[in-house]
Amino acid sequence: MDKLYSMKSDFENVAKAVEDIKNMRIRGASVIAKYALESIRRDSRKILEKSRNREEFLENFEAIKESLLRTRPTAVALPNALRFIEYRLKLKSRNKNITKNELCDEMISSIDYFLDKIKNSKKEIATAFSKLIKTKVSIMTHCHSSTTVEVIKKINEDRKVKEVYVTETRPLYQGYVTAKKLRESNINVKLIVDSASGMFMKNVDLVLVGADAITLNGDVINKIGTYPIAVVAKEENKNFFVTAESYKIATNAKTGKEIAIEYRSIREVYNGNLGRLGNPEILNPSFDITPAKYITAIITELGAVRGKQPKKIKEILKKAKYV
């Protein structure tokens, strides 16, 4: 980016998005993608003004894309969104007569398309999942997923929610956000510490979580702590569902082992004097991998994947022309 323009001085909305996403002021795969795309849209006029020709417009978009991609390495909603826009721009630029203004129009159009998809997918998933629920259920959820919250709200609107057990989701307590959002809809919420999920598993009918990435074999990468909850659910014969949009499929990852797991600052775990603890090594992975064998089904807006079904995931990808 330095060889062209300063991100902070020229593309201030994108620069702010980079910092907000990196520092987790903005959380959740879909929310991050939406926020990033909106920041590019707000800076679109400046990107156009700072590009002397069509080639420089493409270079500026490439630099912006790379800056945003470096913020959070694990979740794939943002990379898929950016690569979709990049693909549309490159396709358009094959016409040598296309101007930088027309490329800017294409970028805005692609952003709007993806933003609509983000908005509509949640509603489609919520409607599809609610149809699967025939009686009132108790649910356990982990972390904060805007999609999962939308699903639970829809189930509640259909009068099929007894209560929801929400884990705090340490170390940054994203579960507090989920609890607040559900309480705003007058849903009966029981907030529990992460380590109590096994104790209360017997009280629930199913577990429902979101996803930051889905691999081609059906593994799911989600907030740290998801995997042990899935294992306990399997042991207790409880259904473990994932609700996630198709743009969270990592098209270049066959299994969860191929996804880079983000490690964050140790200060999120312990912000005191480490010497008092004997200077232990502190590990702070932000995500873990839940193998497909522990997952009852992944519900997307383009269909459901039950267990390890790579063929079904490929079918969904064929429908998802924007990925």
Catalytic residues: 143, 212
Q: Which helix (H) or strand (E) holds 264?
A: none
User: Which residues 6+ apart lie within 8 Å of 151 measured at CB?
Assistant: 122, 125, 126, 129, 130, 208, 243
Degrees to nearest 5, angle at CA 201 with 123 and 175 = 50
CA gap 259, 299 in Å, rounded: 21
Q: Which helix (H) or strand (E) holds 296?
A: none
For 219, how many CA atoms within 13 A lie in the half-sphere containing its CB?
19
User: Which residues 6+ apart lie within 8 Å of 61 measured at CB?
Assistant: 47, 85, 86, 89, 107
Residue 317's SS3 state is helix
